[in-house]
Amino acid sequence: MNAPSSSATPSSVPTGTAQIGVTGLAVMGSNIARNFARNGYTVALHNRSIGKTDALLEKHGGDGDFVRTETVEEFVDALERPRRVLIMVKAGDATDAVINELADAMEPGDIIIDGGNALYTDTIRREAALADRGLLFIGAGISGGEEGALNGPSIMPGGPAESYKSVGPMLEKVAAQVDGEPCCTHIGADGSGHFVKMVHNGIEYADMQLIGEAYDLMRRALDLPVAEIADVFREWNTTELESYLIEITAEVLSQVDAETGKPLVDVIVDEAGQKGTGRWTVKAALDLGIPTTGIAEAVFARALSSSTNQRKAAQGLASGSLSAAPADKKAFVDDIKAALYASKVVAYAQGFDEISAGSTEYGWNVDRGSLATIWRGGCIIRAQFLNRIREAYATDPELPSLLLAPYFRDAVEAGIDAWRRVVATATTMGVPVPAFASSLSYYDGLRSERLPAALTQGLRDFFGAHTYQRVDKPGTFHTLWSEDRSEVSE
Ligand code: NBP
């Protein structure tokens, strides 16, 4: 390690020795820098303010070989060629500022990787601008939070294939490994990696909302004690629902507040924020015309939770007559489990649909099966379930919907009655289940032979002459609604 010293000068920094540089040494950057060092790479360190660099070296300098740098010029000089720099700064303007500074100091053929949570359209723009300057740009989604960054995240890099040849092996080495396979693969061109990471986060929103609804039903409909609900989740984690989020749900529900002796969940304010990626996933889905109802309901449920004033004012609103709790609590818990599983299948099916649509729109050619593979470890939505998704796409790479894969079709069919009972009971008991209910409606809509969209088209033709097509012959038609109501062919 290059000893930390506030009087470092350019001449004191070894040049051309580091295989990778990390700039932005907050939680994520410092942990991933340590991960690279622990894997035997020499890592050049840089941060806008030197304090974070020195703090990392002081606490964790023993993790491996680091090169301490203060200026961007020192940082770039410290790297072997082609230079590889990983940016881990705040998404948005900060990322643009850092990219511009680096690009001025780097040379054609050098590679910049943005590991932050960038909006994929920003990544597309940045990749094109840097390509004009001869630089290779990779937008890499990195999931797993600080623990993943240190011990092995799931990495979703998008960018020119030639850049992946140079950085791919390094990223694959520091990524989580499942069954001997790295949780990292080249996703496609320009913004594909950040797009896929965005949808991953959207699915994470839906997954958490569904877990929340399952908990709420056990709490409010069945009146189960929190500790007992924790046990239910712990037991579910030994079944097909096994996943990181179910596992940590049991942990959070088991936590008792030291100050009050109450379950921690009861002293936490019930308002959840919705930062960038969940909202972006829904916006992109709207633009692409893909119904991601589960994810959208999850984002809206957080927005409702944060509508503090409205919620306070609405406390006295009538509930109407509510039905009694199901008599057989154990049976209803089993129903909730089936509803959770089926709704989760819908959330993933919708997320993968959005990825397919984005891939088609931008020409990325994303391999959906490989996504399921790299999400099996390192990331927040890691789950046993992803093995089934991987198998589904291996069997049929062109699968129109995950709901049509035999495994999932059978699993949902097995739980459909329970799913309906849960949504019906929740509704008659006044317990909100927006994600369970919208997922069931989506499923029913998808399998319906006829939808009321025919009436919608008729109405649109009535008020706006928008025309319609007929089921029995080709062509475009319009009814002369304000005249003799005869039909004309357009
Ligand atoms: P933050 O998102 O909190 O960013 C802090 C870092 O950005 C610091 O190193 C800071 O430098 C630097 N920075 C800022 Br702010 N403005 C800058 C500028 N104009 N020029 C140069 N540097 C600037 O850090 P984080 O939580 O470690 O996340 C890093 C990235 O990873 C983000 O894009 C985040 O969305 C993404 N991510 C985070 C997680 C997570 O669990 N936290 C998970 C996955 C992805 P300073 O020290 O000088 O202020």
Q: Dump pLDDT digits (tens) for 326-376.
A: 999 999 999 999 999 999 999 999 999 999 999 999 999 999 999 999 999
Fold of 198-314+322-447: N-(1-d-carboxylethyl)-l-norvaline Dehydrogenase; domain 2 (1.10.1040)
pTM: 0.94
Q: Is 415 annotated as a binding residue?
A: no
Q: Is the beta carbon of 86 within 6 A of some atom in ligand 1?
A: no
Atom 33 of ligand 1 has which residue's CA nearest to it?
116
Average pLDDT over residues 115-141: 96
Which pLDDT band holds residue 2 (cuts at 50, 70, 90)?
Answer: very low
Q: Can you give the pLDDT at residue 276?
A: 87
Please tell me the distance between residue 223's alpha carbon and the centre of ligand 1 in angstroms. Answer: 42
Give CA–CA dist 115/140, Å, rounded: 5
User: Domain 452-489 - what CATH class?
Assistant: mainly alpha
Q: Is the beta carbon of 116 within 6 A of some atom in ligand 1?
A: yes
Task: Give the three-class secondary structure for 309.
Answer: helix
Q: Is the beta carbon of 47 within 6 A of some atom in ligand 1?
A: yes
State percent of the chain over pLDDT 70: 98
Please tell me the distance between residue 209's alpha carbon and the centre of ligand 1 in angstroms. Answer: 26
Map tokens 């399921």 to a residue. 372
Give percent helix, percent strand, percent coil of the chain, each to the nearest 5: 55, 10, 35
Atom 30 of ligand 1 has which residue's CA nearest to it?
116
pLDDT higher than threshold 90 for residue 427:
yes
Q: Is 460 annotated as a binding residue?
A: yes
- Ligand 1: residue of 23, 48, 147, 244 to mutate (most ligand atoms within 8 A of CB) is 48
Q: Is the beta carbon of 28 within 6 A of some atom in ligand 1?
A: yes
User: Domain 20-186 - what CATH class?
Assistant: alpha beta
Strand pairing partners for 18?
79
Give 184-221 pLDDT, tens digit per residue.
999 999 999 999 999 999 999 999 999 999 999 999 99
State percent of the chain over pLDDT 90: 93
Please tell me the distance between residue 84's alpha carbon and the centre of ligand 1 in angstroms. Answer: 19
Q: Point out the ligand 1 atom lying closest to the alpha carbon of residue 27.
A: 27
Closest-CA residue to 356 (of 219, 195, 203): 195
* Angstrom distances, CA of residue 24 to CA of 47, 421, 459: 5, 50, 55
Q: Can you give the pLDDT at residue 4?
A: 42
Please tell me the distance between residue 123's alpha carbon and the centre of ligand 1 in angstroms. Answer: 16
Please tell me the distance between residue 447's alpha carbon and the centre of ligand 1 in angstroms. Answer: 44
Asked if 439 contacts 347 with a C-beta cutoff of 8 angstroms, the reply is yes
Average pLDDT over residues 147-173: 95
Average pLDDT over residues 228-238: 98
- Ligand 1: residue of 31, 72, 89 to mutate (most ligand atoms within 8 A of CB) is 89
Asked if 9 contacts 34 with a C-beta cutoff of 8 angstroms, the reply is no
Atom 47 of ligand 1 has which residue's CA nearest to it?
49
Q: Is the beta carbon of 55 within 6 A of some atom in ligand 1?
A: no
141: enclosing H helix or E strand: strand 136-143
Give CA–CA dist 133/103, Å, rounded: 8
Q: Can you give the pLDDT at residue 1?
A: 47
Atom 21 of ligand 1 has which residue's CA nearest to it?
48
Q: Is 25 annotated as a binding residue?
A: yes
Please tell me the distance between residue 40's alpha carbon and the centre of ligand 1 in angstroms. Answer: 24
Atom 11 of ligand 1 has which residue's CA nearest to it?
48
Strand pairing partners for 44?
21, 67
Question: Which one has a higher pLDDT value, 163 or 66?
Answer: 66
Q: Is the beta carbon of 275 within 6 A of some atom in ligand 1?
A: no
Q: Can you give the pLDDT at residue 3?
A: 41
Which pLDDT band holds residue 476 (cuts at 50, 70, 90)?
Answer: very high
- Domain ranges for the chain, please list them: 20-186, 198-314+322-447, 452-489
Active site residues: 197, 204
Burial status of residue 201 (CB atoms within 10 A of its CB: 0-12, 13-18, 19 or more) = buried
Q: Can you give the pLDDT at residue 8?
A: 43
Q: Can you give the pLDDT at residue 35?
A: 98
Q: Can you give the pLDDT at residue 383?
A: 87
Q: Is 29 annotated as a binding residue?
A: yes
Atom 1 of ligand 1 has which residue's CA nearest to it?
90
Asked if 43 contacts 17 with a C-beta cutoff of 8 angstroms, the reply is no
Q: Is the beta carbon of 148 within 6 A of some atom in ligand 1?
A: no
Please tell me the distance between residue 29's alpha carbon and the centre of ligand 1 in angstroms. Answer: 8
Please tell me the distance between residue 95's alpha carbon and the centre of ligand 1 in angstroms. Answer: 9
Give CA–CA dist 346/209, Å, rounded: 13
Q: Is the beta carbon of 31 within 6 A of some atom in ligand 1?
A: no
pLDDT higher than threshold 50 for residue 121:
yes
Q: Is the beta carbon of 24 within 6 A of some atom in ligand 1?
A: yes
Which pLDDT band holds residue 10 (cuts at 50, 70, 90)?
Answer: very low
| 177: CB partners within 8 A, 6+ apart | 152, 183, 377
Which pLDDT band holds residue 13 (cuts at 50, 70, 90)?
Answer: confident
Closest-CA residue to 68 (of 90, 77, 94): 77
Q: Is the beta carbon of 98 within 6 A of some atom in ligand 1?
A: yes
Give 283-340 pLDDT, tens digit per residue.
999 999 999 999 999 999 999 999 999 999 999 999 999 999 999 999 999 999 999 9
Map tokens 């092996």 to a residue. 169
Q: Is the beta carbon of 201 within 6 A of some atom in ligand 1?
A: no
Q: Point out the ligand 1 atom lying closest to the alpha carbon of residue 25.
A: 9
